Structure 1
Amino acid sequence: MSENAYIVKDTPDKGKSMFAARDIKRGELIIAESPLVYIPEHNEAESIRAVEALSKKNKKYFYALHSVYSEDEMSLIYGIVRTNAFPLGPDSPDSAVYRVISRINHSCVPNVKHKWNPTTGKEHVTAIKDIPEGSEILTAYQSPLKTRAERHHALRAFRFQCQCPLCTSETSDEYDMAIKRIEVCSKLIETACAANRPRDSITYVREVLALYDKIGASGKTPYYYDGFQICAMYSNFDLAQEWADRLLQSCISEEGVGSRDYAKFLAYML
């Protein structure tokens, strides 16, 4: 990670936003940031308590962030939290607000992935595509692996209508069909594994990966892991190693070499 990988600057329509200060390579860790404030259980009372305990300097950083909610709807503190917080993991009730990372705007076709790393106690932002200098750094506030209607419903809490290339594309219906097929195949992988049908399982894994490539989405790493596990489970170790190779490369691209998953998957290469 290099300190000059990004810059935060004002924009005409989205306030302060994050941009690439130089060309950024896919798989590069752009920033690993400690929380400005932790929010236990992501509720209003805890938000107020946590923010009031901040230092004067950190309160200044916090109140510099934007809230999309009026104070008739909720307190200013909770409005800022609701607008800017990231969960500390997919199933965590806790969240955090960041001085820099909370400036990253949303796109359903993001060029970075944000992920909480409990080992470092920081939120990691990793490039999932090559990002040219001057391009805006964009993440997905919710899973892009949803239909357009589902994505727009999920984004209502942020009070904006997404105008990313995917949401405005004429091929959005084709994307929606691919997403629905990925959901079906994911369930078929589980069913085939439970029924001891490894060939069928691998066939569905390959179909999912092809669909990801077709729609240009990230998130393939878990499916490479499925392929590795299926082959290893049935003692096809040569093929398992091929899947492990692809798994590691996918993890580098989507998570970065500093991720916990990378360390775990690297062991499969030994």
Structure 2
Amino acid sequence: MAAAHGNTEAQSTYKELQSALHRLGCPPNYPNVTLFSVFTSPVGGRGLKAVKDIPRGTPIICEKELFWVVNGTVGAIQARDPHFQALFCPPNNPTPQGRFEANRFQMGKDTEGRQKEGIFEKASRLNHSCVPNAYFAWNYKSRRLTVHAIVDVPKDAEIFVNYCADEHLMDRQQRQQGLGSYQFNCTCQACQPNTNFGMASAQRRQEMQTLDTRIDNNANNTLPVERSQQLIDIKAFSLLLQQEGLFYPQLADVYQLEVSWYIREIEQFADGTGSTRYRMGLLEEALEVARKQLEWDVACTGHDSPEVKKTSRTLKVICGLGQ
């Protein structure tokens, strides 16, 4: 019976993944098709721009590192790599170390649990935006850095990623300070304080800070009124992210918060108390939100990524609660 149950779960997970791919209309991987070119970016240095329209979910880069370090220090042999030397080097720190710090990417941990940082021939040319149109992730399974389109990227548009975590919870000054090691001032639409979008962005990000703190403070609250308010706050956070154009990973993370809320609420009635209709409604809501999260995971990290596997496990949990 255990084996049969395991096969049923595997089939269910496979169907959820295939359904997400179908809903997304994800394009196939084009390993031999060039989607971008290197150009002199108005942001600074040499960036990457789309040479054709790139649909959301398209894998743009899947790349092995030139080299990686764990102590943040570039060795003499690494510094002589011609591909590394071709990357941007900040004028106020024209050293191999300065070049490394301006172009590095996080790429998981080594066998001793130390954080690895790597340099990549293509991905290291990607410039930063606080409202990016692409997402990078280290896939420890394939041992490659992947970059996927978060939204549709039109031909000739520059491809941007977000260098820093939790920037959606920072004001403009904090974001600029966080980019210090990259030696440039961000001029994306969220960092232009005198434009309509820039002013609205500042307000949205301030509201997101407030909501994030309130959600965190009420995470373990079991009182019905506070639980209901937490769901209201989570949904408000989700809406602000969508208005800001921050879909991944921020929106997916908030979807995970919402799913966790539904699971906790369902477990409140595990003993059979409460309305069956209410419990089934919670299950339906949880499944809908988890599927949205899975879609974003697939679109921005690839169908074989650790993030997809994690969200698939969450879907299994939800389906189990309905049995």
Place the TM-score, normalised by the shorter chain, in its bin: 0.7 to 0.9
**Secondary structure class of the residue paired with 2:71:** helix
How many Å apart are 1:158 and its aligned residue? 2.3
Aligned-pair CA distance for 1:269: 4.0
Q: 1:50 to 1:188 in 2, by over 3 A?
A: farther
Does the aligned pair in 2 maintain the 1:5–1:20 contact within 8 Å?
no
Match of 1:10 among 39, 61, 66: 39
User: What residue number does 1:249 align with?
Assistant: 295
**Residue aligning to 2:207:** 181
Query: Which residue of structure 1 aligns with residue 252 of structure 2?
Result: 221
Secondary structure, aligned partner of 1:94? strand
Residues matched between the structures, number = 259
Superposition pairs for residues 152-191 of structure 1, below 5 Å? 152-168=176-192, 169-171=194-196, 172-191=198-217
Offset of 1:241 from its aligned partner? 1.5
Q: 1:253 offset after TM fit, Å?
A: 3.8
State the distance in 1 between where 2:39 and 2:214 align: 47
Do the aligned partners of 1:86 and 1:96 also contact (CA within 8 Å) in 2?
A: yes
Quote the offset at 1:89 in angstroms: 4.8
Residue pair 1:37, 1:50 contacting (<8 A) in 2 also? no
CA distance in 1, matches of 2:284, 2:201: 34
Aligned position for 2:75: 48
Counterpart of 1:207 (choices 236, 240, 244) is 236
Q: Does 1:240 align with 2:264?
A: no
For residues 51-200 of structure 1, the aligned pairs below 5 Å read: 51=78, 59-70=81-92, 73=93, 76-89=95-108, 93-143=115-165, 144-145=167-168, 146-168=170-192, 169-171=194-196, 172-196=198-222, 197-200=226-229
Distance 1:253 1:198, change over 3 A: farther
Residue deviations 1:193-232, cap 9 Å, x none? 3111432221111010011122222220011111111111
What secondary structure is seen at the aligned counterpart in 2 of 1:17? strand
How does the TM-score come out when normalised to structure 2? 0.72
- Structure 2, gaps ≥5 residues long: 1-28, 267-281, 317-323
Aligned-pair CA distance for 1:173: 3.2
TM-score where L is the length of structure 1: 0.85
Which of 94-103 and 119-128 deviates more?
119-128
Q: Tell me the alpha carbon deviations over residues 81-103 of structure 1, each in whole angstroms, 9 at most, x when there is no partner.
A: 11111122599742100011001
**Aligned amino acid, residue 142 of structure 1:** C
Q: Which residue of 1 aligns with 2:53?
A: 23
Q: Taking structure 1 as reference, are residues 10 and 211 closer, same or farther at Cα in structure 2, changes over 3 Å only?
A: closer
Write the deviation string for residues 4-37 of structure 1: whole angstroms up to 9, x where unpaired. 2423323275443212232211122211111101
Question: Is the Cα–Cα contact under 8 Å of residues 147 and 175 in structure 1 kept in the other structure?
Answer: no
- Is 1:35 the equivalent of 2:65? yes
The offset of 1:246, in angstroms, is: 2.1
Query: Partner amino acid for 1:95?
Result: E
> What's the secondary structure of 2:179's corresponding residue?
helix
CA shift for structure 1 position 157: 2.6
Deviation at 1:50, TM superposition (A): 6.2
Q: CA RMSD in A?
A: 2.5
| Deviation string, structure 1 residues 52-78 (Cα, Å, up to 9, x no partner) | 6xxx8xx121111121045xx57x221
Provide the C-alpha distance between the structure 1 equivalents of 2:283 and 2:259, rounded to a whole number of angstroms: 9
Structure 2 residue matching 1:25: 3-state secondary structure: coil
The letter for the 2-side match of 1:16 is R
SS at match of 1:201: helix
Aligned-residue offset at 1:49: 5.3
SS at 1:88's partner residue? strand
Q: Secondary structure at the match of 1:142?
A: coil
